[in-house]
């Protein structure tokens, strides 16, 4: 049981909570893929969020495996589960996606998840040693997390423009904030700023989204006709709403009305 000891019971508590929340969110797209299997079609959904989520989990898994602290085991568990689940999702997507989407996904997997990951693996192995290698991987993971955390800005902009929270259900914002707070506290109590740092942005964006929900919740919840014809909405077929340091990812999916956040994806 020593692998579960972090030296700080609060770090252990929030790490376990973070695992539970993140795994639940990893499993959230199951209804979507059940529908994909039933209809034998991906229905225009994109694979990018799943590929990015897998890449993020792979990097954080590598980072956690390099850390000597026993508390890193909680990072290993959640990201191991994330890698398995995201791989299954991608496999199902490849099975039912049209040829063009399938080839695009394969190219992205080769470029990012194989080429990118192997490059980082080799460079960190030969150019850095010991704690320097851990720091290098930590900064790479932080950079990726910050880049992905910027994704909600497109949804926030859409909410402000339409004065409608149809694209941003409260449950999405709530779980975003809850997950970010949990991992932020875990990182702080474990004194791991690489984990805590990116989730500061997650908390900020989550609170901002809930504030916008409070402002516009009484607005018109029906997308206006001009918004239906807005190509920028139509192109947002599957956007990343949030992805924290451990693969917390929720999606904005395409529908006949444009891009809407599906409650089943919480």
Residues in a beta bridge with 64: none
Q: Is residue 214 part of a domain?
A: yes
pLDDT digits (tens, 9 = 90+) for 50-74: 999 899 999 999 999 988 666 688 9
Question: What proportion of the chain, given as a percentage, has pLDDT over 70?
Answer: 76
Q: Is residue 257 part of a domain?
A: yes
For residues 86 and 18, the answer to whether their CB atoms sit within 8 Å is no
Considering 89-103, 201-215, 240-254, the range whose residues carry the highest mean pLDDT is 89-103
3-state secondary structure 23-59: HHHHHCCHHHHHHHHHHCCCCCCCCHHHHHHHHHHHH
SS3 243: strand
Q: Is residue 2 part of a domain?
A: no
Q: Is residue 49 part of a domain?
A: yes
**Res. 232: pLDDT tops 60:** no
Report pLDDT for 79: 94
For residues 92 and 28, the answer to whether their CB atoms sit within 8 Å is no
Q: How far apart are CA 159 and CA 196, in angstroms?
A: 28
For residues 47 and 105, the answer to whether their CB atoms sit within 8 Å is yes
**Res. 236: pLDDT tops 60:** no
Number of domain units in the chain: 1
Report pLDDT for 70: 60
Question: By residue range, what is the domain housing residue 247?
Answer: 7-261
Average predicted confidence (pLDDT) for the chain: 79
Q: Confidence band (pLDDT; 50, 70, 90) for 264?
A: very low
Q: Is residue 1 part of a domain?
A: no
* Mean pLDDT within 5-23: 85
Based on DSSP, count helices (H) and strands (E) in the chain, helices before strands.
12, 3
Report pLDDT for 174: 80
**Res. 243: pLDDT tops 50:** no
Give the side-chain half-sphere CA count within 13 A for 149.
24
Report pLDDT for 13: 93
Q: Is residue 20 part of a domain?
A: yes
pLDDT digits (tens, 9 = 90+) for 192-224: 999 999 999 889 888 888 888 888 877 644 444
Q: Is residue 230 part of a domain?
A: yes
Residues in a beta bridge with 259: 254
Q: How far apart are CA 225 and CA 214, in angstroms?
A: 24
The rounded Cα 105 to chain-centroid distance in angstroms is: 18
pLDDT digits (tens, 9 = 90+) for 132-168: 899 999 999 999 888 777 766 777 888 888 888 776 7
* Mean pLDDT within 96-100: 94
Q: Is residue 266 part of a domain?
A: no
**Res. 88: pLDDT tops 80:** yes
Q: Pick the residue with more confidence: 25 or 167?
A: 25
For residues 137 and 62, the answer to whether their CB atoms sit within 8 Å is yes
* Mean pLDDT within 110-125: 94
Which range has the worst mean pLDDT, 8-12, 85-89, 214-218? 214-218
């Amino acid at each position: 049981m020593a692998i579960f000891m972090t030296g700080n019971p609060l770090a252990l508590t929030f790490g376990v909570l973070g695992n539970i929340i993140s795994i639940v969110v990893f499993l959230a797209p199951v209804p979507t893929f059940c529908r994909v299997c039933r209809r034998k079609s991906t229905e225009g959904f994109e694979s990018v969020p799943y590929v990015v989520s897998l890449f993020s989990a792979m990097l954080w898994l590598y980072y956690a495996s390099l850390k000597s602290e026993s508390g890193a085991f909680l990072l290993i568990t959640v990201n191991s589960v994330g890698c398995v689940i995201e791989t299954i999702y991608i496999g199902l997507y490849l099975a039912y996606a049209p040829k063009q989407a399938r080839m695009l996904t394969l190219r992205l997997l080769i470029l990012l998840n194989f080429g990118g990951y192997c490059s980082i693996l080799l460079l960190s192995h030969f150019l850095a040693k010991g704690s320097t290698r851990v720091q290098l991987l930590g900064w790479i993971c932080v950079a990726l997390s910050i880049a992905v955390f910027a994704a909600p800005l497109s949804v926030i902009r859409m909410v402000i423009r339409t004065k409608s929270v149809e694209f941003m259900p409260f449950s999405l914002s709530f779980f975003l904030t809850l997950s970010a707070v949990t991992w932020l506290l875990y990182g702080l109590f474990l004194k791991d700023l690489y984990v805590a740092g990116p989730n500061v942005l997650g908390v900020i964006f989550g609170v901002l989204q809930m504030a916008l929900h409070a402002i516009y919740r009484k607005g018109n919840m029906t997308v206006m006709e001009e918004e239906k014809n807005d190509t920028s909405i139509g192109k947002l077929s599957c956007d990343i709403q949030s992805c924290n340091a451990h693969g917390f990812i929720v999606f904005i999916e395409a529908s006949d009305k444009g891009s809407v956040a599906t409650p089943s994806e919480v």
